[in-house]
Each structure stands twice: as structure tokens, then as C-alpha cells.
Structure 1
């Protein structure tokens, strides 16, 4: 895994929200609105209701728009040919996920936790059901937007970090990177509320901060190639 200086980490975290429109309207906040929806149910002890008849459609809409906003419904993707109903099995997995996996974050990445993350990723990928787009990138975008417990491992993240896939080794490398740079990553970044655009009291998890850092590091590498 590639290493970065603390200054480089702070530079990326500062640049992430420098967008051409107000942040609450930019796609960077698509994560916020999705994450807020799912986490609010979990915080009330109501995660099981996310797949209930009265909430299921809204949950699919939040997840679906976030995935579309973050590139998972581009022209060649099979998700583009599917309706929101395609996400119902994923919501059933989410609703049944143990509470401690919702709160797991990079500093807590033990070998046992890594094995459980891998098992959850496989469950979500299977729930997506055999489409060409049901790759680990897609399943991990789901995990990032809902639980915030892993980076997305998309093209830019992988280019920036030097990691390729979620694995026991990658989990260990991410934890070690965080340990080395905990000071630079000790920033309180909060999600935005959909209705007001104001900041909530819900912090970005460390996995999300690492996703942001290596996304921009990878984008810089790709653009300079």
C-alpha cells in the first residue's frame, strides 16, 4: 500500500469539498443523504425497519440515487437497466446486519473484523444478483454509503492507495496506514442535512475520510498519466 505525508492527507481533505456548486447540491453530498437515512434508523435501534413495507421504497431510493450519483449507473452498467426493485435483496441484507458492523471503523480493523467485513461484502454482492456490475466495487460502494465501514475501492481509490481488492491484507494495511497518520485524519467532518443544507452532528467515519484521500490521490495520478 502506498504511503502519503500528513500534509498530503490534509491537502486532500481540504480540497474534497471545493466544488463548483454549493456542497449541499453537489454529488459529494449524495453520500451524506444516503448515510443519514440509514444511520438514523440504526441509531434509533430500528435498522430492521429499513426493509419493512412502509420504509423499503424510500430506502431503495436513497441507496439507488447515491449509487447513480457515484457512477454505478453509467451507460454500460447493468444497473442502468434495472428498477429500484432490484435493490430489495440488498436492503434485506442491510436490515439484518448486526449492529457492531454498522459502527466498525478503520481503527477497529482486527483480523476477525476483517473476516466479517469480507463476509458482509460477499452477502451484498450475492444480493445484487449476478449482474455484470455486481463487482466488489459496487458492493463496497453500498457498504460505504450505508455503514461507512470500508472505503469504496473504486478505480481512483485503488490507483491512489495501491490496493486492488478488499482482502485480509488490505484491511491490515488500511489499519496500519491509519495508525501512522491518525493525527492528520483526526478531523471532524459532518454530514449535511437534506432539508436545511446545514451540518448535522453525524461525523464522517474514518473509512470515508480514507476513501476521500485516496480518491483524490488516484484522480491526480490518473490525470497526470
Structure 2
């Protein structure tokens, strides 16, 4: 229900609405993962982050840097890229997948910290959601959704495992009309829930 509400919202149905920025960056990384066009992918990532308000505030991404700051992050993202797009097919695959995701989150966190950018959970997971759909965005709305479902709200391996377990618990109840990766669907549901509650 929340997924359908999210998809039918005015911002999501407009061709140039900000919610479409996820589709654009996700497609860009999928189509350009092999040609290593780091400049192009860094621009795409920066525009996606800007559309979701991640360039303002304490991150300093807008005030102190241009899109080129993301080139090393893009290089990190492209490591194990195909493996992270190979989402778990059953609960037995969750642990290994989450370890790989956490390794990449840690690498991104270390990079952004080193260059003076505040690597918040929201920033890191928005990047992972946009480029690989490997995590939902751990923003205030999704955390409300986690809390309502009795799941760990702090980003970490345990929380990511719980998110995937939730996916396997509810996926049969979802419509197959939406061709989005599993955690993108959960992110949409969580975002919608969090906005309404």
C-alpha cells in the first residue's frame, strides 16, 4: 500500500520530478559500470544527492566541493558492483551479502571522513541506494518504519540483516508490477510510512 502511494505521488509521476532522480542514477551506474567513466558517474551521483537534499548542511558537499569530490567514491562503488546487484534470493544468502555491503559502506565512510565530509548514515545509504540499491536510505522516515516494525534503527550489519529478513517475510504480499530492486521497494514503503506517521 505504501509503495503504491509513493509511486503515485505527484513528485513521482512527473517526468522531471525529483523522485525520478533515483531511476536516473541507478540506470547510469548500471549502464556505465564497465566503461569506468568516473567523471560522468560522479556528476550523476552529485545530481541525485542534490535532489534529495544531501548537498546541504553539515556535509559541506555544496559549500566546499564540486562533483569531482565523488570520483574516488565512484571508484569504491564500482568495486564488487556486480556482486552487490546480485541480491539475496533467499534468507541463507543474507549474511554474505550484508558483509559485502558493510565493507563498501565502511570504505565510503573512510573516504568521505578523510576528505572532511561528514559521512552520515543518511548520506552513505542514499549513495548505496542510488547506485546499487544495496541498502535503503536510513533517513528519519525510514527509521520510523524500522521502529514500527520492531527492527534495529541504527545502521549496521544487524539492521541490514533485519531489513533483508523483512523483505523475505513480506515480498509475497507485494505486487509484481514494479520492477525495482527489493530494498528500493522497502525504501519506498518506509519513506511513505515515515512521512505519514
Partner of 1:193: none
The residue number in structure 1 matching 2:191 is 215
1:123 match? 107
CA distance in 2, matches of 1:65, 1:175: 28
Counterpart of 1:206 (choices 178, 182, 192) is 182
Structure 1: unaligned runs, 5 residues or longer: 1-10, 190-202
2:114 is equivalent to residue 158 of structure 1: no
Deviation at 1:170, TM superposition (A): 1.3
SS at match of 1:187: coil
Q: Which runs of 5+ in 2 are unaligned?
A: none
Preserved CA contact (<8 Å) 1:27 1:69:
yes
Q: Is structure 2 residue 47 aligned with structure 1 residue 73?
A: no
1:106 is displaced (CA, Å) by 7.5
Once residues 88 and 14 of structure 2 are traced to their aligned partners in structure 1, the CA distance between those partners, rounded to angstroms, is 25
Taking structure 1 as the reference length, what is the TM-score of the superposition?
0.76
Separation (CA, whole Å) in 1 of partners of 2:167 and 2:10? 26
Tell me, what secondary structure is at the counterpart of 1:149? coil
Distance across 1 between alignment mates of 2:163 and 2:144: 15
Runs of 4+ in 1 over 3 A off after TM superposition: 105-109, 129-132
Cα drift, residue 80 of structure 1: 1.4
Q: CA deviation at 1:172?
A: 2.6
SS in 2 for 1:188: coil
1:107/1:218 CA distance change after superposition, 3 Å: farther
How far off its partner does 1:34 sit?
Answer: 0.3
Matches within 5 A, 1:94-173: 94-105=77-88, 107=90, 109-130=93-114, 131-162=116-147, 163-173=152-162
Give the count of matched residue pairs: 189
Structure (1 or 2) with the larger CA radius of gyration: 1
TM-score by length of 2: 0.86
Question: Structure 1 residues 79 and 23, CA, compared in 2 at 3 Å: closer, same or farther?
Answer: same
Structure 2 distance, partners of 1:21, 1:161, is 23
Q: Distance in 1 between matches of 2:121 and 2:89?
A: 18
